Structure 1
Amino acid sequence: MIITNELEARIVHLLEHWDAAPVRTDSSSIELLYTELDREPSLTRAWEALAVLRLTLPTRDDVYGFARAVKLNGAQVAVDALPSPVNWSPFGRTADVVIISRGVVADVHTTVHTKGTTGIQRVARETVSRWASLGLATPVAWSEEHLAPRLLSAEEAASLSGRSDGESSTNNEPITLVIPLGGTYVIPELTIEPWRNLRLSAIGQFASTSLTGIGFDTVPVTSTETAAAPIAERFPRYLDALGWADRVAAISEAAATEYRGWRRMLVGSGRMGPEIESIPLAAEVSQPGKSAHDRARSALDIKDQAPFVLVVGSHEPRKNHLAILYAAEVLWREGHDFQLAFIGGNAWGAEMFTREVARLKDSGHPISIVSGAGDDIVFGAYYHAAFSVFPSLNEGFGLPVVESLASGTPVITSAYGSMREIAEQYGGVVLVDPRNDQSLIEAMRTLLTDSALLESLTRQAQKVTPKTWDSYATEVFDYLTR
């Protein structure tokens, strides 16, 4: 192995992490590394040596293979047999490196590479951007080879803070790899990439770094029929990674209950599983100005002469939007006059929803669809709506429910799980059985015809003051990095 100045510095950093920094002039750092590995060929040291020497976060197989090689042949032979780092060449380095020994690393790879504004992306952005701005955490994405995390590019950093469209490129920017030794590695988003979960699992199992994460829901397990096939297939890898974590902050008590049930099953694999605590999400809604009101009216074709009913969320089957369309058609045929609008992008399984919307519009019913709407249009739409409808079949939290209430707009939502938690905490909510079409029809009919009830629910909603994102970010950071 050729010992460059950069490699020498990394080895010294590793030895200091092991409290074995070289103090004698007659012993080089690499020789001391061999000595320390031979003296203690633990799986933790194997993980850390591989990460520092190869600039790659190793997998479980990598760690076991290297530890066995050290025990069989000695550290020098095992280390000399390691391939060169992918981001290093004999002609010079192609990436800088930062080793984080005591800090917090937040993995936002998916969030900074998507335009999505789903609940998961919103949570990751609202939390990690605050941590980063205060210098509490280092946000990272992954290298092109998917072997190690790296610092964000300028465009990715803008995406994290909400100042970009999410289409980032790092091809023309220098890469700085991040190697975590100690400290905390936080997963604030859903990780479904098999390559990422393999390496995250190894962090939790072997590294001295503490692995923690935000737990959103276990829908792909508890409601598999409502989850896209690729998500359902890959979700167990995500759970395997979390199975080695120290702590998981669930976004609601309902989500915490699901994760605790999953944790009990880990006993069969010889694992204790993470500590799980419920830290309910925040929800902030800005008062839309006249321009936001006007944009919402224009985008959704809102008319003054009829009540406006709003639905926020993607059109995947779990959101139950077909049931809303059916209920709306029944009520229109009964002669009720109202406008219906959906704000949310298409998702898997939305073909039937799209066909039904087209059929209803062709029949002359007042229905509109907006995809990719910004917060100004969404918040403006809430303020225009008489009420919103969110009869989801399963939710980790149900952010549109709280956002609607925070806008002073009553909500029809499901009578169980996190949605019921919100109703019991705040009021301004009508609960329905989302699997019973008649229950949804009756609730919508009542709010369209009973002005006294609607006014009472509106007064309740106008009193709602949800947790702020500043408060949530502080609370979840303190827990995950405890």
Structure 2
Amino acid sequence: MSRELPARARLAALTPRRRRALGARSRLLLEAVGRPVSRPALGALLSALEALDESELWLALAVLHAELPTPSQVRRLRRSRELDGGWGALDQLLEDAPRRRGERGAPVPVRVVSDVVLMDVTGLLPGDSVAPGLGAARQLARAWSREAGILPVAWGGSRRRLRELEDEERRAIGLAAPAGRLLGATETALVPHRAAYLLVGAVQLPRSAERIIALGESSANRSGSVGYGLGPLLRAEEHPPQKGEARFSWHLAAQRSLERLVVLGDGDTREYEGWRRMLSAVGRPGPELHGFALPADAAGVAGSITAPGSSAAWLALAGDAGAVLGLAGGRTAAAP
């Protein structure tokens, strides 16, 4: 049975404000994937949904929902398109659409960002993480925050979307002050497309971990993380029970899907090498590992591998220093 009628019914049920937001986000999506933008935008969207590849389906979910999708959402959308074409995909997008709103009940603004490094520092914020290595992680984040084209971000919207940091959050972890906001509003949902995602610190909640997994598996973004050892798993007795291995497993699940992993310290590198070999049992290759010797003190970390413009760890993660660290702020496009 065609899903055209259910999709039309869902469209008819939208409030005028939500319909306008859907139209604006549809145009933003079409521009991001290089498809013709015509009026009405929903007609062009319906046509485009027939031909989008998996990374563009991930992008469609992120832009139209103003939240990064989970793996199950990507699978449902792909399956609906395979079974029922563009109408099936549109109906699934509308069925899965969140009902959450932004400030004053308005739809959440969305911005697609390209050619920029989104550095996720959520796990470094006060009270968020109990993972090992936070001192070294903060040193790295402080050094990288001074690089052109690197934007520190955190999870917002109940850990469903990426956003810019508040000024107080930047100050709390000692990040360099921006020379003026790159994007302009912490309420705006940031959607990376042909960009890079760098996880610094730990992810210990399933809601954000699932979205990082989908970003690593299905999006068109480069991705990587910094590793500080597997202490909460291998030495659980040293960590509070409610904050130990059960929560840290979500961090490893997120890291498993990323492209590269920079590990600080020879011992920690060996731990991650063993973990990566274990992934073959579930048919996962895991990330590329790049190990670096860890200096004796945290200040030495910043001095040895995060010199401005030539961070050895980030160069290993990014692959092409000229394409990533040479950026001058990135490109953005937005929908209200």
- Report Cα offsets for 1:353-399 as digits up to 9, x if no partner: xxxxxxxxxxxxxxxxxxxxxxxxxxxxxxxxxxxxxxxxxxxxxxx
In 2, Cα distance between equivalents of 1:472 and 1:236 = 33
In 1, Cα distance between equivalents of 2:235 and 2:151 = 34
Letter in 1 for 2:212: L
Displacement after TM superposition at 1:257 (Å): 1.5
- Report Cα offsets for 1:231-252 as digits up to 9, x if no partner: 2112222212111111000001
- Tell me what 1:62 maps to: 73
Match of 1:152 among 155, 165, 175: 165
Matched, 1:18 2:29: no
Question: Secondary structure of 2:311's partner?
Answer: helix
In 2, Cα distance between equivalents of 1:176 and 1:60 = 23
In 1, Cα distance between equivalents of 2:274 and 2:115 = 32
Matched, 1:219 2:231: yes
* Cα pair distance change 1:252/1:235, threshold 3 Å: same
Matched, 1:122 2:17: no
- Report Cα offsets for 1:163-215 as digits up to 9, x if no partner: 9xxxxxxxxx8612211122111111121122221111111111111220001
Q: How does 1:77-226 map to 2 (within 5 A)?
A: 77-80=88-91, 81-88=94-101, 93=106, 95-114=108-127, 120-161=133-174, 175-226=187-238
* Cα pair distance change 1:281/1:114, threshold 3 Å: farther
Question: Secondary structure of 2:25's partner?
Answer: helix
Letter in 2 for 1:35: S
Letter in 1 for 2:115: R
* Equivalent residue pairs, number: 294
What runs of 5+ residues in structure 2 fail to find an aligned partner?
A: 1-10, 177-184, 320-336
- Tell me what 1:228 maps to: 240
- Report Cα offsets for 1:218-264 as digits up to 9, x if no partner: 12333334343332112222212111111000001221121111111
* Cα pair distance change 1:82/1:109, threshold 3 Å: same
In 2, Cα distance between equivalents of 1:158 and 1:239 = 28
- Tell me what 1:480 maps to: 317
Q: How does 1:274-293 map to 2 (within 5 A)?
A: 274-281=287-294
* Cα pair distance change 1:194/1:92, threshold 3 Å: closer
Highest RCO, 1 vs 2 (Cα 8 Å, sep ≥ 6): 2
- Structure whose alpha-carbon radius of gyration is higher: 1
Contact kept, 8 Å, 1:95 with 1:174, in 2: the verdict is: no
- Tell me what 2:45 maps to: 33
* Cα pair distance change 1:122/1:223, threshold 3 Å: closer
In 1, Cα distance between equivalents of 2:289 and 2:50 = 37
Letter in 1 for 2:214: A
Letter in 2 for 1:477: W
- Tell me what 2:180 maps to: none
Contact kept, 8 Å, 2:132 with 2:231, in 1: the verdict is: no
In 2, Cα distance between equivalents of 1:64 and 1:117 = 32
Question: Secondary structure of 1:182's partner?
Answer: coil
Q: How does 1:330-369 map to 2 (within 5 A)?
A: none
Contact kept, 8 Å, 2:306 with 2:312, in 1: the verdict is: no
Q: How does 1:257-296 map to 2 (within 5 A)?
A: 257-281=270-294
- Tell me what 1:413 maps to: none
Contact kept, 8 Å, 1:47 with 1:206, in 2: the verdict is: yes
Contact kept, 8 Å, 2:305 with 2:312, in 1: the verdict is: no
Compute the TM-score of the two structures, normalised by the length of structure 1: 0.54
In 1, Cα distance between equivalents of 2:41 and 2:113 = 20
Letter in 1 for 2:218: F
Identity of aligned residues (%): 24
Match of 1:402 among 290, 293, 297: 297
